[in-house]
Amino acid sequence: QVQLVESGGGLVQAGGSLRLSCAASGSISSIKTMGWYRQAPGKQRELVAAITSGGTPTYADSVKGQFTISTDNAKSTVYLQMNSLEPEDTAVYYCNVKTYGLVPRTYWGQGTQVTVSS
């Protein structure tokens, strides 16, 4: 089992920056990927960024060059550094973890609100 706790959301002005954190606990050694999804009002949840246990990142085209995903040395916390924020980035951001195992599993954080004002 993996438990996820998110933090770092809030209200920022356009052009500002914010860093989200997601701390994982439990079966950390079983983690295959860690990442972030977001869901804006009236829209589907979409992948923002993900990183493998080996450190290889992937990004949605919409945030490439704007957001940066990273982990700590223990690979138990994933961060999302968000720069040059725009109102279109306003959404609830969810931490996501996928695990290895006989039955691969997906875990979700509770979500953290990011609001960007113009």
Average pLDDT, the chain: 96
Q: Can you tell me the distance from the alpha carbon of 114 to that of 20, in angstroms, rounded to the nearest whole number? A: 9
Instruction: Give which of 81, 84, 98, 95 is closest to 37, Cα–Cα.
Output: 95
Q: Is 62 exposed, middle or buried (0-12, 13-18, 19+ CB in 10 A)?
A: exposed
pLDDT in tens, 9-21: 999 999 999 999 9
State the pLDDT at residue 101.
87
pLDDT in tens, 51-77: 999 999 999 999 999 999 999 988 899
Instruction: Give which of 48, 47, 81 is closest to 63, Cα–Cα.
Output: 48
pLDDT for 93 beyond 90: yes
pLDDT for 102 beyond 90: no
Q: Which amino acid, 67?
A: F
